[in-house]
Amino acid sequence: MHPILQLQNWLREEKDSGASLAQHAVLSTLGREGTPHARLVAIRDVEQEGLVFFTQSGTRKVAEIQQCPAVSLTFWFERFAREVIVEGECHLLSKAENAAYWQSYPKWAQLRFLSYAATSSQTIPDKRILEDKKIQLEKEYRQGEIPLSPHYCGCVVKPKRFVFYSFRTDALSDVIEYRLSSSQGYTWARLSP
Ligand SMILES: Cc1cc2nc3c(=O)[nH]c(=O)nc-3n(C[C@H](O)[C@H](O)[C@H](O)COP(=O)(O)O)c2cc1C
């Protein structure tokens, strides 16, 4: 089985068991001088072409991806005590790709993004500043479409390695690794827990 199908199956099982934020993963990147940094992102697409998430263009994660495209995504499926690690290269989506995703967003999500962008992780003296910006944007865009934010930034992770870890206490845990090879597609192996 292609490892992305296995990830899709585990996501489905986790969601079906009631986990509302299953499609989130910890994105790890490397900064200058090899400083690691990890944070949660919502994964928009899980497809053979890659795993897609969105952020603001001025964030630390985007700067670090541009410096060093090697990243990992770690999913934690609490209901089944499962972990999936995806390692690969991350690239920014084109403007046309961003525009297509932006148009598929509901208006409330576009307005929320515009209320924050481009200030993610900057110091703000008061939350009221963002709330006021949101109110002003709601008035401005009461009618008509909201144009693509220049700060809307999609990223795609092209996997090279997957690890599927099933943690068990009634028996020994199962760990399966998939590696992408240029000649054979994905090959898999059992790893010791
Ligand atoms: C549940 C949850 C979902 C999040 N989803 C995203 C996301 O999809 N994209 C994003 O840029 N940040 C998301 N964040 C915020 C990031 O975890 C992070 O704190 C922020 O983007 C700043 O990251 P950076 O400075 O390392 O780039 C989310 C946080 C939480 C708690």
pLDDT of residue 184: 87
Q: Is the CB of 41 under 6 A from ligand 1?
A: yes
Beta bridge partners of 22: none
Atom 18, ligand 1: residue with shortest CA distance:
39
Phi and psi at residue 162, to the nearest 5°: -125, 145
Task: Report the alpha-carbon distance of residue 65 to residue 69 in Å, rounded.
Answer: 5
What separation in Å is there between the alpha carbon of 105 and the centre of ligand 1? 18
pLDDT of residue 126: 96
Q: Is the CB of 38 under 6 A from ligand 1?
A: no
pLDDT digits (tens, 9 = 90+) for 132-177: 999 999 999 999 999 999 999 999 999 999 999 999 999 999 999 9
What separation in Å is there between the alpha carbon of 121 and the centre of ligand 1? 10
Phi and psi at residue 94, to the nearest 5°: -75, 165
Q: Is the CB of 53 under 6 A from ligand 1?
A: yes
Q: What percent of the chain has pLDDT over 70?
A: 100
pLDDT digits (tens, 9 = 90+) for 111-125: 999 999 999 999 999
Residue 80, amino acid: F
| Residue in 56, 59, 52 with CA at minimum distance from that of residue 152 | 56
| Residue in 117, 118, 110, 103 with CA at minimum distance from that of residue 138 | 110
Q: Is the pLDDT confidence value at 67 over 90?
A: yes
Structure tokens that stand for 153 in this block: 């930034």
